[in-house]
Amino acid sequence: MDMEFVITSKRKDANKNAVKILEAAKIVFAQKGHETTIEEVAVEAKVGVGTIYRRFNNKHQLANAVAYEVIAEIYEEQVRILKSNLTTIEKVKHVFACYAKITIKYGEIHQMIVDLLVSEKGEEDLKESFLLGLKKLYAEVITNGQKENIFREGDPRLYEIILQNMINPQMVKQIAEIMPLEETPSFLADVALNGLLLKK
Find which of DNA, its own copies, none residue 133 binds, CB within 5 to 8 Å per kind: none
Smallest separation (angstroms) from its own copies to the CB of 23: 25
Binding positions for its own copies, rule: CB under 8 A: 89, 92, 114, 117-118, 145, 149-152, 155, 157-159, 161-163, 165, 168-171, 173-175, 178-179, 187-188, 191-199
What 8-state DSSP symbol labels residue 92? H
Find which of DNA, its own copies, none residue 158 binds, CB within 5 to 8 Å per kind: its own copies
Contacts 24+ apart (CB under 8 A), 115-119: 116/64, 116/67
Find which of DNA, its own copies, none residue 151 binds, CB within 5 to 8 Å per kind: its own copies
Binding positions for DNA, rule: CB under 7 A: 15-17, 35-39, 42, 46-51, 53-55, 57-60
Find which of its own copies, DNA, none residue 16 binds, CB within 5 to 8 Å per kind: DNA
Burial 37-76 (b: 16+ CB within 10 A, else e): ebebbbebbebeeebbeebbeebebbbbbbbbbbbeebbe
CA torsion angle 80 83 89 90 (round to 10): -40
Query: Which CB atom, from 61 or from 78, has the smaller least distance to DNA?
Result: 61
Query: Which CB atom, from 85 or from 149, has the smaller least distance to its own copies?
Result: 149
**How many other β-carbons are positioned within 10 Å of the β-carbon of residue 93?**
20
Half-sphere exposure of 193 (CA within 13 A, CB side): 19
Query: Which CB atom, from 12 or from 152, has the smaller least distance to its own copies?
Result: 152
Query: Which CB atom, from 6 or from 137, has the smaller least distance to DNA?
Result: 6
